[in-house]
Amino acid sequence: KYVRREIRSLSDIDRETLFNAISIIQRVPTQVGKRLYGKNYYSKDYFNRMHLYYGGSKSCDHWHQGPGFVTSHITFSLQYERALQAINPSLSLPYWDFTLESTFYDSDSFRDSGVFSEDWFGDAKCNNTYHTIKNGRFSYISVMKNAVNFSTVYSPQGLLRSPWNTDPTPYMTRSNTIYGVINNLKPSGCSEYHRAMGFRDWKNLAKQLNSNAHGHIHELMGGSWNPILTVKKPVTNPITGKDAYEFLHATESYSKILWRYNYLVCPEKISKCLSSSYYDDDDCLCQCTAESLQDQTPIQIISSTGIIKSLVFFDKNGNEITSWQNKTSKSLYDVLPGYTIDESNAIFQRIMDILCSPGHIGDMFQATSTNDVTFWVLHPTLDRLWHRLRLNANNGVIDFDDTWPDSEQTCNGHYSYDPTPFKNIYDSNNVVYTNIQLYDIINPSLDSFPYIYEHFRWSHCVALGLDMSGTTN
């Protein structure tokens, strides 16, 4: 079996060998690589396109916000590992335990961690014109141009990116801001990992791995900037800053919801959008048009899309607003309590104006997050949590309910019986796996399973007083 290690546990030689192989995947096209390295080789564009297809679908997100997230990303990571091993059979995919950054750094300093040096993951701030890494191994990693000939999903600029991301930069991008405001978060820490260890059923564990244990790491690495509208002013107020940030952290997901409901319209590739002289022209931006809004009011749209369920906003004075409907009748407020009708309409319109101008989104924060090297070392650390619990259950240390929560799913890709795009990863039967088949196969107790993790110790979390054995609820 291969042994997956925390990336800081690798020797300098092993780490250099790994990064050299990743650089090959970033630069050598699939067909060329297959001739050089064999059938298991795939380039970054192959992986970017697959993640874009399943995470950037118009209908719904087939790989996120549901239990299919776990089975798909673990198998996807193994497919990437196999591509690395095609280049060099000695390699295994390491994991990045970002709870170390969470434990020993704060939100202002975690990007100064050694993993973001030029020879490792590269600059995590990217405060430059292109919002890209300018120096080091992973500088100026390209984004496929003219992707219309390669993918059915692409950005308005024809780049291999999410359709709702109008950033024209042809390189992998990062930012330490969230819609132009310095991000106030840091990676998920020991408490969320400890919470995951306490679940005794697949339904809730999958939710935790998909959300809080996964945390805001995609947002933190990708970030966003250049919105047409801004909410900077309330964020500078220490009393109301928390509320403003709460809205900012949800804005990308809200805008994506509007896009899926066809309220936010993003242009298909048009020739002038390929020129940087026109990238901020109205024809090249995502926007809510009179036609797409269909005479619906902002509050009707916010309600019908479900955004209202978690919406937190603020008025021009920074006062928090969380009540949008009568608690008894559940009817929507036409006039918010404590505000005039004009003030209420202005607040509703302000929300829509912001959500309808998503700006530019860093690669890790959208559907081709696979273009950032940190994507590939992120998900194995979640897989490691699951391994710990499965081993405990397999050895009779804990009872665990493996029931797949089909009744709660609404999107294909998250039902137990849904087919996945994977085959010949764990066997050579040439038949695609379903989610439940992957669930049964991804079992660290099986002799046939291809890898193990170096250990299941989180000593820094234990030092905080947390039991990380996975044996206590």
Which pLDDT tens digit goes with each residue over 259-302?
Answer: 999 999 988 766 667 665 545 566 778 889 999 999 999 989 99
Q: What pLDDT is attached to residue 250? A: 87
Residue 82 vs residue 286, higher pLDDT:
82
The pLDDT confidence band at residue 361, using thresholds 50, 70 and 90, is: very high
pLDDT at 76 over 50: yes
- R_g over Cα of the chain: 23
pLDDT in tens, 106-160: 999 999 999 999 999 999 999 999 999 999 999 999 999 999 999 999 998 889 9
Q: What pLDDT is attached to residue 238? A: 45
For the segment 361-366, the average pLDDT, to the nearest whole number, is 95
pLDDT at 365 over 60: yes
Residue 241 vs residue 298, higher pLDDT:
298
| Residue ranges of domains in the chain | 2-119+187-219+371-462, 227-358
Assigned token pair, 30: 């699939």
Q: How far is CA 254 from CA 36, 99, 182, 260, 263, in A?
A: 44, 27, 20, 10, 11
The CATH fold of domain 2-119+187-219+371-462: di-copper center containing domain from catechol oxidase (1.10.1280)
Pick the range with the lowest mean pLDDT from 67-76, 180-189, 200-209, 443-452. 180-189
Q: Evaluate whether 97 touches 187 at the Cβ level (below 8 Å).
A: no
Contacts for 431 with CB less than 8 Å, ≥ 6 apart? 423
Residue type, 350: R
Q: Return phi, psi of residue 314, to 5°.
A: -155, 155
pLDDT in tens, 202-238: 999 999 999 989 878 999 999 998 766 555 444 454 4
- Single pTM value for the model: 0.93
Distance CA 81, CA 190 (A): 27
For the segment 401-419, the average pLDDT, to the nearest whole number, is 96
